[in-house]
Structure 1
Amino acid sequence: MTSEPPVMTGPLLFLDHVEKYVLRLSVLFIADNGECPEPIETVHGVHTAEILAEYDHMTVWRARFDLPANRSSCYAWNGQSYSLASDFRGDIRIAYVSCNGEQIGDLEREGSERNAMWARLTEDHRNAPFSLLLHGGDQVYADQVTEGHPLSEDWPEHIPKDPSRADLADLRHYLRERFLERYVALYRAPEFVWIAARVPSLMQWDDHDICDGWGSLPGTKTDTPVGQILFDVARESFLTFQHAAVDGDLPERFHDPAGLHLGWSVRTAGLRLLAPDMRSERTRHEVMGDGGWKMIRAEASTPVQGHTFLMSSVPLLGPRLSVLEALMVAIPKMQKYEDDLRDQWQSRAHRDEWCDMLRVIRDMALANGHDVTVLSGEIHLATRATMKLGAGRWLHQLVASGIAHRAPPRVWARILGALAQFGESPLKACPIRIPCIPGQKSRYIAERNYLVLERRSDIWRARWALEESGITPPLIL
């Protein structure tokens, strides 16, 4: 008998920062213990990988290197060349995805079905290259990692009251290995790894990267030793596998070097990408804490030319949910869904904070020479929204969700569409509406999807790639 050859997962490319005409990049590898990836080669030299994190049977490696941001470029690894559409000065294309999985049984799904939209995105890139790949949340569905350990088996319904230090240490080790298992399964998918090696990723997390409803669950659950270990391991895994980073060595794009919140921003020619952290500081009464608000206010007060894409892991603009929320609280069989609605900006619990956020974004969008578009996912549907700003200006929100999560029943899309007819006006004279996506007759589309953003001659256009309906006509932003 012969043993199976070692499997090397990677290269997986991440954007650390943009500095003038330089892209600062990291590339991630996951290898069996004892295996070391070959170095990265660029025109500037050879870049050796270093150990980022270690596990029982695997090691995570990272190499960092620079490429130009004013022309196309490439790097080489293990005898293969990887080309990048790295000229950010003029016309560019960006892809936006979210919800890469499902809560139950995701690792058991058949690969070609699960990753059908990743295969389509890869073919899209072959025809017209993307410069960046934005991931808007729920890159991994980690909800089942708690199963199989006595301290977390019944999370979050039943939590041991006084676990020993030894048992908590064992839980931490168990969860680290389970998170690794999920990321390896996702990152080895051929439909994903091909494009992830050629298009730098930028990622923002949401609840399923931790557990369903993190931050909207009661503090009596999340503030327990078990809850805090779950969050700590999810956060470590998020930094390792979604940013190729560790505490104390965060890329420059993060606003807080200490990592108390994990919001980041990237600026390049005529473009700002802004991704506040809506999970690290979240509670049942706050979407963002002091760190997140400090970041948003600092960005809003900074003069920027061109276009800002604000990534909101839960939709910032949406229909009135207060009636639906009240019904769910009143009906016992529906109370288990109350946390899902509390997760939304439009929840009654977040009304004042939501209005504060809308005012900040409104003022940012009305600044001279500047446009703002909100990108969001989370709801497993494709849709859009607008908010009237005044002076003939509109704030657009584009929702693309999910890349791998199967669409909910069409009746749910119809219910949301009916709810959206009533509109919403949290700010005076700034009504929110849910118009149809170009080429579609319904406000919410129950198909798997991703979003394509294109800048041509300084004009941005958006198209949705829908699994059944195909690519939509462009929406000018």
Structure 2
Amino acid sequence: MRLAALVIRPLGVDAPGGLRVGNTHFDAVKLAELAGISVWRYDFQLGPDDDGYEFEGCVHPVNTDVTGDMRIAFVSCNGEEEGDLERDGTERNAMWARLAAQHETAPFALILQGGDQIYADEVTRGHPLSDKWPDRAPRDASPPEIEELRQYLRERFVHRYLDVMGAAEYAGLAASVPSLSIWDDHDICDGWGSLKDNRTNSAVGQALFQSAREMYLLFQHAATEADIPDLFMDANGTNLGWWRTLPNLTIIAPDLRSERTRHRVMGEAGWHGLRQVQPVDGQVMVVSSVPMLGPRLSLVEMLMMAIPRMQHYEDDLRDQWQSRAHRAEWCEMLREMLKLRKAGPLTVISGEIHLATRAEMGTGAEHIQQLVASGISHRAPPKGYARGLGWLAGLGEAPLPAHPIRILPLPGQKQRYVAERNFLVLERQGGAWHAVWHLEESGPTPPLPISD
């Protein structure tokens, strides 16, 4: 495994001490200085016989045996839109604590983070150019004023990342379990890409996006612009989708935010990258930050647009693959999934909706499963909302002829959607994969086989 360890130090403090694997010593490379901190990265390797690494006198065990049985954790939606950093830490991070306990019992080889790793919606507040975002984006700001705004936003992003990633329940896991992440809107701002074009394309909007992108690369990938060709499908970084292979496993994460507009989900770079993926034999997992298989939301979209006081929620619906604005592109994505399905069993893993559910499309050699686990720390919506969405799912949806989508209850549950905080554990035993949702109130579900 090629790994990167991210270390944060106060600005002006000496470089962190060395990292050691066995008798091999690794030095840190400085990635950035900003907002009163310096950011350092260790690049190192662990083989199947290495138990972990030592850093500044502390040994961090890492599960490096990924050739046989293995466990992967999937999380999403780590925060809330309002007052997230003021929440009681024990309450906020309760599900992270459960995930850490799972790791202590049976170590994870990987954490997949499916979007909204932070909720950055409040970073725009307190600056005259962005305080009213997205309702207002001044057009007459000068280049120096926009640059000053960008520096302000960078600092706000840094403080948010440090607060969220510094939580004890998360930090211990992060030091011992390799992580791969893809971003979603709240890593930038609520509804990024589904807002009106004159907002996202404004100088204020672009300053926000550029700051969010820099911090996403830095804190979620331990990377800078120079690292993009080695990490992502698109060497130019227009799209930040990626794919990785492990023995008998391919993990693909298309970037559904960098190129998003009100009229598309991905641009040319994203589609080109996705079509270049060549899965290895075995299981294929696709991380879609927005659920790919879902109910007929176009009906709700039409209803909301007809009611003036409900039009405020249009951006939320336009964020979904099922939006009328994205239907043709949604069908194209589903066709790409059917092509990938030929390489082996394919499972789509999603977050975003603050609920737990699952779905299926097709049968036999074209059978695709989707697992949705959303809300590692975001509190669940009302249970009535989950029941209403379940009723809507009962109407059925089939964007591709002869490939109906079915929204199904989790194992052991009666309703199609569960309104509880949750995370997902994917486990390979004897070559076969199964999934278990860990629900805050109901506990773990019975295992669901996903290798077919």
User: Normalising by the residue count of structure 1, what TM-score does the alignment of the two structures yield?
Assistant: 0.93
Instruction: Please tell me whether residue 361 in structure 1 is matched to residue 337 in structure 2.
Output: yes
1:30-179 pair list within 5 angstroms: 30-35=8-13, 36-43=15-22, 45-68=24-47, 70-71=48-49, 73-179=51-157
- Asked if the contact 2:250–2:279 (Cα under 8 Å) also holds between the matched residues in 1, the reply is no
Deviations 1:42-71 (A, max 9, x none): 125111112111113111111110111x34
Cα offset, 1:216, TM superposition: 0.5
Rounded to whole Å, the distance in 1 between the matches of 2:122 and 2:287 is: 26
Rounded to whole Å, the distance in 2 between the matches of 1:161 and 1:294 is: 34
Q: How many residues align?
A: 449
SS in 2 for 1:122: helix
Rounded to whole Å, the distance in 2 between the matches of 1:380 and 1:194 is: 24
- Asked if the contact 1:248–1:258 (Cα under 8 Å) also holds between the matched residues in 2, the reply is no
Q: Identify which of 333, 342, 346 aligns with 1:372.
A: 346
Rounded to whole Å, the distance in 1 between the matches of 2:138 and 2:401 is: 48
Rounded to whole Å, the distance in 1 between the matches of 2:64 and 2:339 is: 32
Letter in 1 for 2:298: S
Cα offset, 1:295, TM superposition: 1.3
Letter in 2 for 1:464: W
Question: 2:418: which partner in 1?
Answer: 445
SS in 2 for 1:102: coil
Q: Percent same amino acid at aligned positions?
A: 56
| Cα distance, 1:325–1:52 mapped onto 2, change above 3 Å | same
SS in 2 for 1:425: coil
Instruction: Please tell me whether residue 244 in structure 1 is matched to residue 222 in structure 2.
Output: yes
Structure richer in strand, relative to its length = 1
Question: 2:199: which partner in 1?
Answer: 221
Letter in 1 for 2:444: I
SS in 2 for 1:430: coil
Deviations 1:446-466 (A, max 9, x none): 000000000011100000000
Question: 1:352: which partner in 2?
Answer: 328
| Cα distance, 1:392–1:58 mapped onto 2, change above 3 Å | closer
Q: Identify which of 295, 312, 319 aligns with 1:319.
A: 295
- Asked if the contact 2:18–2:55 (Cα under 8 Å) also holds between the matched residues in 1, the reply is yes
- Asked if the contact 1:151–1:160 (Cα under 8 Å) also holds between the matched residues in 2, the reply is yes
Question: 1:401: which partner in 2?
Answer: 374
Rounded to whole Å, the distance in 1 between the matches of 2:311 and 2:85 is: 28
Question: 1:207: which partner in 2?
Answer: 185
* Superposed CA RMSD: 1.1
Cα offset, 1:363, TM superposition: 2.3
Cα offset, 1:329, TM superposition: 0.8
Rounded to whole Å, the distance in 2 between the matches of 1:62 and 1:295 is: 27
Cα offset, 1:304, TM superposition: 2.7
Cα offset, 1:393, TM superposition: 4.5
SS in 1 for 2:358: strand
Cα offset, 1:102, TM superposition: 0.3
Question: 1:304: which partner in 2?
Answer: 280
Rounded to whole Å, the distance in 2 between the matches of 1:293 and 1:250 is: 17
Rounded to whole Å, the distance in 2 between the matches of 1:410 and 1:210 is: 28
Deviations 1:72-122 (A, max 9, x none): 521001111111111110000000000000011001001000000000000
Question: 2:304: which partner in 1?
Answer: 328
Cα offset, 1:253, TM superposition: 3.6
Q: Identify which of 16, 29, 48 aligns with 2:7.
A: 29
- Asked if the contact 1:71–1:88 (Cα under 8 Å) also holds between the matched residues in 2, the reply is no
SS in 2 for 1:293: helix
Q: Identify which of 345, 350, 355 aligns with 1:381.
A: 355
Cα offset, 1:266, TM superposition: 0.4
Rounded to whole Å, the distance in 2 between the matches of 1:295 and 1:373 is: 19
Cα offset, 1:364, TM superposition: 1.8
Question: 2:389: which partner in 1?
Answer: 416
User: Normalising by the residue count of structure 2, what TM-score does the alignment of the two structures yield?
Assistant: 0.98
Letter in 1 for 2:227: D
Letter in 2 for 1:428: P
Rounded to whole Å, the distance in 1 between the matches of 2:342 and 2:29 is: 45
Rounded to whole Å, the distance in 2 between the matches of 1:251 and 1:476 is: 36
Instruction: Please tell me whether residue 286 in structure 1 is matched to residue 259 in structure 2.
Output: no
Question: 2:438: which partner in 1?
Answer: 465
